[in-house]
Amino acid sequence: MNEMSSFKLSGIAVPGNAADMLDEICEHFIEHADVERTGDLALLKSNVGGLAHIQIDAGRLLIDLDCPTADALQMSRTILAEHLFYFAEGQPFELTWSEPTSLSALPNLHEVTVVSAEDVTPHMRRVIFSCADVTPFIGGDMHVRLLVPPKGKAPVWPGFREDGRIAWPEGEDELLVRVYTIRAVDAERGELWIDFLQHPAPDVATPGADFARDAQPGDVAALLGPGGGDLPSAESILLIGDESALPAIARIVGEMPARTRMQAIIEVWDEAEEQPLHTDGILDIRWLHRDAALGSLLEEAKKAIATLEEGTFVWAACEKDDIRTIRTCLKARQHDRKKMYVAWYWEKKS
């Protein structure tokens, strides 16, 4: 345990299969935390110093959380609870905690107001939000959950459930909730940028993109986070992604220090979807155009992985099946798991 921590909490989870759920926990959180697994015991250490100790005992999962602050403790409980219920996939599952939450509001919820919206490319629209405190979004994690209230209604923001999960408003107060990347932070102006991909397929439901298309100055929303999607730290970085990952890639490239060597392979629909990527580092970028059908992101990713320099950080985000193949390629090369972020951002519908 971290001797500096002073906020602790224990819980008991009763899943259908404790071993399978512990496997799921370790497989998922290895992309977001340091994970140590020894038999029936797993230790998860977050980048803010929080520690989760999870052990199988008589078909249950015994959970001990140890965090440096009360807010971090509650966020750790909520993140773990949300994932455990997701992993249960509708099967019978129980989760109880030694103490109820002492917080009435989510500590990482930030109300924001639309300042402006504009098209960056034909299929990428940028919404700029004002925020009272942008400090939590500077450096570190890039991902947030965007919460949009129903049009014309005063927002009702979420609280907590007894099991630690978020209590989302229902009925007429139901919120639109989508995960996005903070594209940029303007600390002087107190503003945040989020880029929204405008899907070209007319038969695909895109409520998040619809919000960006219709956003007007003064519209109120909220950001929950940040959480996930750490900025990589390495002297050499390989970036792989499609349009869905372009905001994150642009953020990473823009925040890397001088002399950082970066290779980026980005697939977009056509030349009009390319964006200038500004950086103080050294960037070698290759744009792939889907409409030209000359090569594919997966093919080029395989080639780049085959010639990886030792110590290169691999950041990849795209379609689910392609990500699975990229993970397999990296595993075959025994690439250091601490030197990669490989996550699927969308899934093809059959």
Give the model confidence (pLDDT) of 309-330 as tens digits. 989 999 999 999 999 999 999 9
Say what the pLDDT of residue 2 is: 43
Predicted local confidence at residue 48, as pLDDT: 64
Over residues 229-242, mean pLDDT: 92
CATH number for region 109-224: 2.40.30.10
Q: What is the CATH number of domain 236-346?
A: 3.40.50.80
The reported pLDDT for the residue numbered 28 is 84
Three-state DSSP class for residue 347: coil
Residue ranges, comma separated, of all CATH 3.30.310.50 domains in the chain are: 7-97
Name, in order, each residue with C-beta under 8 angstroms of 224's C-beta and a sequence gap of 6 or more: 106, 108, 109, 110, 144, 145, 146, 147, 158
Structure tokens at 111: 């109300």
Is 90's pLDDT higher than 90? no
Beta strands in the chain (DSSP E): 7-14, 34-38, 41-45, 51-57, 60-67, 94-97, 109-121, 124-131, 143-148, 159-160, 166-167, 176-186, 191-197, 220-224, 236-242, 261-268, 282-289, 313-319, 340-346
Inform me whether the pLDDT recorded for 294 exceeds 70.
no
Model pLDDT, residue 341: 92
Quote the mean pLDDT of the chain: 91
Contact 119, 196 (CB under 8 A): no
Q: Which fold has domain 7-97?
A: TATA-Binding Protein (3.30.310)
Residue 102 has pLDDT above 80, yes or no: no
Q: How many residues does the chain have?
A: 350
Decide if pLDDT at 295 tops 80: no
Phi/psi for 302 (5° steps) reads: -60, -45
Q: Is the peptide bond before 226 cis (omega within 30 degrees of 0)?
A: yes
Which band of pLDDT confidence, cut at 50, 70 and 90, is reported for residue 204?
low
Average pLDDT over residues 228-252: 93
The segment(s) of the chain belonging to CATH 3.40.50.80 are: 236-346
46 in Cβ contact with 76 (< 8 Å): yes
**Distance from first CA to last CA of the chain, Å, rounded?**
46
Residue range(s) in the chain whose domain bears CATH number 2.40.30.10? 109-224
| Token representation of residue 4 | 């500096």
Assigned token pair, 54: 């999870």
Amino acid at 60: R
**Which one is predicted more confidently, 135 or 33?**
135
* 66-75, 254-263, 334-343: which is most confident: 254-263
- Long-range contacts (CB closer than 8 Å, 24 or more residues apart) made by 133-136: 133/190, 134/185, 134/186, 134/187, 134/190, 134/191, 134/192, 135/187, 136/108, 136/110, 136/225, 136/226
Task: Kindly report, residue by residue over 246-267, the tens digit of the pLDDT.
Answer: 999 999 999 999 999 999 999 9
- When computed from its CA atoms, the radius of gyration of the chain, rounded to whole angstroms, is 21
pLDDT value at residue 89: 86
Q: What is the pLDDT of residues 45-57, one digit of tens each?
A: 886 678 999 999 9
